[in-house]
Amino acid sequence: MSFGPNPWQQTQWDWRAAGNFMGGGAGSGLIVFTAAAGTEGTAAAVLLLVGLALIGLGLACVWAELGRPLRALHVFFNPRSSWMTREAIAATALFPAGLAAAAGAYLGVGAAAWPAALLALAFVYCQSRMLQAARGVTAWREPMSVALLVGTSLAEGAALFWLLQPWHRHGGTVLALLFGALLVARAMIWFGYRQRLAGQVAVQARRALDRAGRFLLLAGTMVPLVLLLAYGAAASPAALASLAGLFAAAAGAYLKFTLVTRAGYNRGFAITEVPVRGMRPLGG
């Protein structure tokens, strides 16, 4: 059934919409973590460009989803009421700022990444509010979905930073602790989000979310934390850091894909009072 009193799965947003949240969130998180890590030089420039590329890939997925791609500029017409418009404006400002930050990092300009990091935060926040604004889908309209998407994006960005650590060689105990803290924060937000959805979502959505949640907690949180605990004493710490980043990033991407595509069930209709011929409505 696609329409009626029982919950039905939305069909407007598919894997391409999920790709925007996956690529845009992870890319934004990578830009933010690169700035927070104080990475400089060629390594910082490449990491910033990778973050921009992921954001661009996510936006390209959305563009491909449009029925009339040549009318994509219409997205800029409603900044007062549309989070999609605000996301597009933030992205428009983020790309030149990110390119300037990459050039500044390459040339040795200190703190060059912070303006881009702030715009990346604004972008991922607008993106998260865009999903939460879809009031008809129970798993999306929950206010904690904003914190879940933002927290997941920041954890993914840290995960990508550590995934690439064998190449850029920037790290250390403080950054490892920050990565671990983001993973724990993401898990705690997930627990709160899932608790608030208890008894509200459709059975199919609950099952999909619980599968993604188990993967997030086990492969995306516990495994990376164990690997990070062994980071300082390992003979090959870079390999452990990269593996931890791989698990954490994969879990975040899977959670977002599930949330957008498999948990997107409408609530259905509920008729609490049935009109009867000849009866006046209550309060009439």
- The pLDDT, as a whole number, for residue 277 is 67
Per-residue pLDDT tens digits for 11-24: 888 899 999 999 99
Q: Confidence band (pLDDT; 50, 70, 90) for 212?
A: very high
Q: Which residue has the tokens 């004493």?
A: 233
Domains present along the chain, CATH in parentheses: 15-262 (1.20.1630.10)
Q: What percent of the chain has pLDDT over 90?
A: 67
Whether the pLDDT of residue 195 is over 70: the answer is yes
More confident residue, 69 or 245: 245
- The pLDDT, as a whole number, for residue 24 is 96
| Helix/strand/coil (H/E/C) assignment for every residue in 111-142 | CCCHHHHHHHHHHHHHHHHHHHCCCCEHHHHC
Asked whether the beta carbons of 147 and 189 are under 8 A apart, the reply is: yes
Per-residue pLDDT tens digits for 20-56: 999 999 999 999 999 999 999 999 999 999 999 999 9
Asked whether the beta carbons of 81 and 126 are under 8 A apart, the reply is: no
Whether the pLDDT of residue 271 is over 80: the answer is no
Q: Confidence band (pLDDT; 50, 70, 90) for 109?
A: confident
Q: CA-CA distance, 275 to 151, in Å (whole number)?
A: 46
Q: Alpha helix (H) ranges present in the chain? A: 15-37, 41-65, 83-106, 114-132, 138-141, 144-163, 165-168, 173-196, 203-217, 223-229, 237-257
- The pLDDT, as a whole number, for residue 34 is 96
Whether the pLDDT of residue 235 is over 80: the answer is no
- Tell me phi and psi for residue 73, to 5 degrees: -65, -15
Whether the pLDDT of residue 68 is over 80: the answer is no
Q: CA-CA distance, 120 to 28, in Å (whole number)?
A: 5
- The pLDDT, as a whole number, for residue 1 is 46
Whole-number mean pLDDT of the chain?
A: 89
Q: CA-CA distance, 184 to 5, in Å (whole number)?
A: 39
Asked whether the beta carbons of 123 and 93 are under 8 A apart, the reply is: no
